[in-house]
Every structure is written in structure tokens, then in C-alpha cells.
Amino acid sequence: MVKILCSLLLVCLFTLHAEPFALETTPQNSEAEKKELLLEKIKALIGENAYARHSKFIGIIFADKDEFYTNKRVDVAKVILMLKDNGLLDLFFKKPKEMHLTFQSSGYPLFFVKIMSDTLQSMGYYRFITDWSKQDESGFFWTIRLTGEYAIDPVLLKNALQKRGCDIVDINRNSQTDWSYHIDMKNAYLMLDELLPETQKVLKKSLYEHWLDARSAKSLTIWSLKGNNWYPYISIYDRELHLLKVYKRDRKTYKIKLELPEDTAYLKIADLYSLKNIKEGLRVEANGVK
């Protein structure tokens, strides 16, 4: 189970041996080229055998090829939705299989991993591990593996990513169990509870660190609730999860007040030793207005 984001990042930053996947990026202008690129994408998504069996039907449902282009590029999400709605995209396996998913983005690696981890977990995928990663001039590449009875539904993944300000630029199906996604993160944000100025929030017991949106606050006060033995460990990040500051205290604490750096966007609140030390929860108050 993926629980500690830092461990993911370490794997991502130090495993640099794999080759990135290729993505279709060249716009096609002529009608013949547009048709060929669209059909090639369909063939890649459903496999050559399925394409050969259903080529006439595919020709009918994709007759208006311009409907499947956006900004001179194949709108792969629309293509997949059409294939899915017409029963041409088989995502199910006869028995559980190990899958490999590669995600590419130009976003900051830690932010990208956090976004993708949160997105997958929101879809019910908790048990996945990092296989490899690579960062070069094309961006950051992250491959995970997980086991399931069916492949991740690209339409549902796109919808979940859009809730976080992200979009899918391209999708490649390398095999039934090997998929590649190119993610646009330029408008990405974390889906977190926002700390509104002059309000309080109770953070209940959790198996994970508490993440909060603190973009509107200048400072905060945090109380440890009765029954805890809290040794504060608080990380402060900007909008792309660059670490701005860490507050930590190696003694039992009941109350702490923090002044937040100007660029603060997100907070991660934990314990220096174990989350069991804050099993009774915390109370947080945001103060000031940026």
C-alpha cells in the first residue's frame, strides 16, 4: 500500500534506467493524414485483431473524424469513450493480472506523484508500487504496477484527474496490461480541505498524514487533543509542492503557533515518530488573510 509519499519520491528520483514511452505529438493537417492517424490510434487502443474484426463498424461510428480531433490532435478521450460505449474496448481479464501504468508530465515530480497517487486512491486503487521513473527534457515519467481483474478505465481516470485541474493529452495501449498516459498538469491542484481564515477544523484520527490547503491563511494554531502524545512534524509547501519549511519539535506538545511563508499553499501535519501519537486528532485554526 502506498502510504508515504516521500518513499515514492526517493524511488522516482533514483531509479533512472528505464526508457520513456513514445507519444503522438505531431499535428496532422491533410484529411488523409487525419483519417490515418485516427484509425491508427483506434487500432493501437483495441488491438489489431479486434480492429480487423470490426473495421466496417469502426468506419461507421468514426465517420465524422473531425469530431475526434481537438487542436489538430486526436482527442483520445473521445475516441476511448466511443469505443467503450460501442463495446469495442475490452478492459476485463479472465483472471487477475499484473498491470503496468506509465504516466508522463512536465510537472514537478513530487507534486505529480502526489496528484496521481491521490487520484488512483480516489478510484479505489490503493495497492500499487513504483516500478521505475525517469526525468529528462521530455518531462517526468513514472511507472507503477498493480494487480487487478480489469484495466483502469481511461474515461474514469480522465474524470478523476479533471477534478484536480489535470487532463489527459494522450493514451497509448502497449498491451492489454500495459498502458501509457501523458498528463497535462499546468492547472493542477490538490483536492484538500481548505483552511479558511478565522475558522477552526478538527482533524480526526487517520492512517495517513493530514494534508490541508492553507493558501488563504497567514498563520495557524494547532492544538493536540486530550489523550495524544504529539511530537509535531509539519511540512509546508508551495503550489507545486516545493518544500518551503519544516517545523518539528522533539518534545510532547499541546499547542503550537506557526507563521506561514508567503508562498504557502499546502501543509502536511504528522508526528515525528508515529501517527499513533495523534490518534485522538488535532484542532487547527487559521488566522489572518493573505
What is the pLDDT at residue 69? Answer: 92
Distance CA 200, CA 207 (A): 22
What is the pLDDT at residue 71? Answer: 80
For the chain, what's the residue count? 290
What is the pLDDT at residue 29? Answer: 57
| pLDDT tens digits, 4-13 | 444 444 444 4
What is the pLDDT at residue 90? Answer: 87
Instruction: Please report, for the chain, the start and end positions of each structural domain, with discontinuous segments joined by +.
Output: 1-188, 200-287
Highest CATH level, class, for 200-287: mainly beta
| Nearest residue to 70 (alpha-carbon basis) of 17, 116, 108, 24 | 24
Q: Are strands 167-175 and 243-248 parallel, antiparallel or unpaired?
A: unpaired
pLDDT along the chain (290 residues), means of 10: 44 40 49 87 91 94 91 89 93 93 93 96 93 92 94 94 94 92 95 91 94 95 97 97 96 96 96 97 91
CB 220 within 8 A of CB 214: yes
What is the pLDDT at residue 107? Answer: 83
Q: At which residue does the C-alpha cell 478505465 appear?
A: 153
Strands (E), the chain: 69-70, 73-74, 92-105, 129-136, 139-150, 167-175, 178-184, 200-203, 210-213, 219-224, 232-237, 243-248, 255-259, 266-271, 282-287
Type of residue found at 257: K
What is the pLDDT at residue 281? Answer: 96
What is the pLDDT at residue 129? Answer: 93
Task: State in Å, rounded, how far the first CA of the chain is from the last one.
Answer: 37
Q: Which residues contact 55 (CB under 8 A, 6 or more apart)?
A: none
Joined together, the cell numbers standing for residue 17 give: 534506467
